[in-house]
Homo-oligomer: A and B are copies of this chain.
């Protein structure tokens, strides 16, 4: 890990309070880690970014496992020292009370729906293939699994294409957390070999998301 001021771990695994800022442990290449960064930015909350090198195992060290027993980034440390894992949980926590999280019960439920879709039906395919091919050097070792996951990734992109052919944003007329969550790995899907050529509605939507006030490109370190 690298940071100007690393937080001090205390015995219960929480982080000693140092400031009124959030601290975000993340990896710059990760769409999951970009999600809370952009939402912190959108809410006007300054934060410290601490780079975690996944390929060097820095998210599985005993020290890091005290912060997140699941051994993953992003990991958000709130100003009071309490921790929160899971990128989409961070989006919901940080987005509460903003226009990014609808108050209408149905639109809110559809936002949830897309967030779970992203983690279950999109990320394990689109993001994982990109990681293997682009960052982990596993294109050959994982060749067969990449074929299978690429097909499932395209299935997820197909579901998005259908939705975005009907409405400008995933949940409807306005951008929500769902758009940020799905933008994260969709916009870098070509790095994993996914052509977006067959998806004109997705390509138009990527441009609309980029134009939403508060948007910052990936990576974003605050």
A interface residue numbers (CB < 8 A to B): 69-70, 78, 82, 84-90, 92-93, 96, 105-106, 108-110, 112-113, 115-117, 119-121, 123-124, 158-159, 162-163
What residues on B are CB-neighbors of A163 within 8 Å?
69
Question: Which of B108, B119, B159 interacts with A69 by CB under 8 Å?
Answer: B159
Q: Which 3 A-B pairs have the closest CB atoms?
A: A89-B112, A93-B109, A86-B116
What residues on B are CB-neighbors of A110 within 8 Å?
84, 89
The answer on a CB contact under 8 Å between A89 and B106 is no
A110 to B68, CA, bound (A): 12
A2 to B156, CA, bound (A): 28
A70 to B90, CA, bound (A): 25
Closest B residue to A123 by beta carbon equals B120
